[in-house]
């Protein structure tokens, strides 16, 4: 889940703030991108997934991204590759006066599909229709997801800490379930809170670290669907009661 803007609030009546990070105070930024990946397997992006990846890449063009991290699944890798290519073409696209270099990494700990398929329930169906669908999975499945997401969260904090630039921006591409769990770690919650968040495939979430990677992460917004231009109110209410902008 990966976005920026140091001064937007959780009520954010002005969604354009996401696109104006350079007017904000310097800070470390972590953005979560939910790739349009199949619930199981290792298939490529479908047509909608390609559209979502391109829209996400265009949205992130206003930011100078330092690192793009994904799991090893094909859909995640393809989404990360699209973001990287658009970033590195920023000078040609008129978004920057000099070429950008983006570091890319694939980290197996960001792959959680094998954990989710251990469920005996139709988790793919739950994911598509239910907010809080993670709470309906078996306890051993959510425990495994929670533990692995903790490792992934530490990976991302380490990547943020490596940057010498105070405007370090790291993009993490992965399954919505992974990003939901990592937001829980950011807020120092327990796995019982996993059902409090909902993320759609192809959406973006923003975590800001105004005091640096060793400080407290601030979730600025979640579930921005770049291809539809919609915002969801995060954290304070369930998804079913959320408004969309």
Q: pLDDT tens across 221-232, in order?
A: 887 775 555 544
Whether the pLDDT of residue 240 is over 50: the answer is no
Look at 16 and 215; give whichever has higher pLDDT.
215
Q: What is the pLDDT of residues 181-229, one digit of tens each?
A: 999 999 999 999 988 888 877 788 888 888 888 888 888 888 777 555 5
Strand ranges across the sheet with 169-174:
103-106, 67-70, 169-174, 28-34, 203-209, 218-225, 230-232
Banded model confidence at residue 38, pLDDT cuts 50, 70, 90:
very low
Q: Say how many domains are in the chain.
A: 1
pLDDT band, residue 39 (cuts 50/70/90)? very low
Q: What is the mean pLDDT of residues 41-51?
A: 79
In a domain, 118, yes or no: yes
Say if 114 falls within a structural domain. yes
CB 88 within 8 A of CB 99: yes
DSSP 138-182: -HHHHHHHHHHHHHHHHHHHHHHHH--STT-EEEEEE-HHHHHHH
Q: Which of 3-17, 38-52, 74-88, 199-213 has the lowest mean pLDDT?
A: 3-17
19 in a structural domain: yes
Per-residue pLDDT, 127: 54
- Examine residue 60 and state whether it is found in any structural domain, yes or no: yes
Question: pLDDT averaged over the chain?
Answer: 75
The per-residue pLDDT for range 160-178, each reduced to its tens digit, is 888 666 678 899 998 888 9
**pLDDT grade, residue 28 (50/70/90)?**
low
According to DSSP, the β-strands at 67-70 and 28-34 are unpaired
Report DSSP letters for 11-73, one per residue: S-S-GGGGG-GGGSPP-EEEEEEE----SSS-PPP-HHHHHHHHHHHHHGGGS---EEEE-SS
3-class SS of residue 125: helix
Give me the mean pLDDT over the 52-61 stretch: 86
Banded pLDDT at 156 (limits 50, 70, 90): very high
pLDDT of amino acid 222: 81
Encode pLDDT of 142-151 as tens digits: 999 999 999 9
Query: In a 3-state reduction of DSSP, which class is residue 183?
Result: helix
Is residue 219 assigned to a domain? no
Q: Which domain holds residue 138?
A: 15-168+177-205+224-240
Q: Is residue 217 part of a domain?
A: no
CA-wise closest residue to 187 among 207, 159, 202, 214: 207
Tell whether 119 is covered by a domain.
Answer: yes
Kindly report the CATH number assigned to the domain that includes residue 200: 3.40.50
């Amino acid at each position: 889940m990966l976005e920026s803007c140091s001064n937007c609030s959780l009520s954010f009546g002005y969604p354009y703030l996401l696109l104006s990070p350079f007017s904000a105070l310097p800070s470390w930024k972590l953005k979560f991108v939910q790739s349009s990946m199949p619930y199981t397997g290792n298939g490529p992006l479908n047509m909608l997934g390609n559209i979502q990846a391109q829209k996400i890449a265009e949205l992130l063009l206003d930011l100078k991204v330092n690192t793009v991290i994904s799991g090893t699944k094909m859909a995640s890798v393809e989404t990360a590759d699209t973001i990287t290519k658009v970033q590195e073409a920023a000078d040609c696209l008129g978004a920057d006066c000099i070429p950008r270099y983006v570091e890319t990494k694939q980290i197996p700990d960001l792959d959680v599909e094998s954990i989710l398929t251990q469920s005996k329930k139709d988790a793919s169906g739950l994911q598509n229709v239910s907010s809080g669908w993670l709470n309906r999975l078996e306890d051993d499945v959510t425990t495994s997801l929670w533990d692995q997401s903790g490792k992934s969260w530490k990976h991302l904090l380490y990547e943020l800490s490596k940057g010498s630039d105070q405007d370090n921006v790291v993009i993490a591409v992965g399954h919505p379930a992974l990003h939901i769990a990592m937001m829980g770690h950011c807020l120092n919650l327990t796995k019982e809170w996993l059902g409090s968040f909902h993320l759609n495939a192809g959406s973006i979430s923003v975590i800001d670290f105004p005091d640096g990677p060793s400080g407290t992460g601030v979730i600025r917004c979640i579930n921005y669907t770049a291809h539809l231009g919609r915002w969801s109110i995060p954290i304070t209410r369930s998804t079913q009661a959320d408004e969309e902008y």
